[in-house]
Copies of this chain bind each other. A is one copy, B any other.
Amino acid sequence: MILKRLTTLRKAKRWSLQYTADRLGIAKSTYAGYESGHRRPSLETINLLAGLYDTSTDYILGRVDYPYKDINTESPQVMELTDLSDMELAVDGISLSEEETIQFIAFIRAKREVEINRDKQNET
């Protein structure tokens, strides 16, 4: 648990304890407790902190050693199933076989085909 990193992160932003606490919605003394190590933030607060400081909870908690930023931009927002190169899909924790993925794509395409035909019918 490396909460001392909080101080570094905060100072990198040139924020005061008060300002940070306000943004977190907690009292100044509460946040100060985190940095001093006397208190530990809740899970929600850790989440907020990672967002405020543009880093990850893993970095704040000391699981990784570099404060990678823009965690969201590193992962595409839309994943194209027909082009899954370095990614596996899973259901209930069990990875999909290649065949299952193919079936999935076929399933979706067929479903859409049906919908298109149905719409055409409705047009007339």
Q: Which residues of A contact B (CB under 8 A)?
A: 1, 8-9, 11-13, 40-44, 46-47, 50-51, 56-58, 61, 63-66, 68, 71-72, 74-82, 86-96, 100, 103-105, 107-109, 111-112
Contact = CB atoms under 8 A, between A and B. Distances in A.
- How many copies of this chain are found per oligomer? 2
Contacts of A61: 43, 46-47, 57
Nearest to A80: B90
Contacts of A74: 86
Contacts of A40: 42-43
Contact of A91 (B64, B82, B94): B82
8 residue pairs, one from A and one from B, having the closest CB atoms = A12-B93, A57-B57, A78-B88, A91-B108, A11-B93, A78-B90, A56-B58, A80-B90
Contacts of A89: 78-79, 81
Contacts of A109: 91-92
Residue among A51, A81, A89 with the highest chain B CB neighbour number at 10 A = A89
Contacts of A68: 71
A65 B71 CA distance: 10
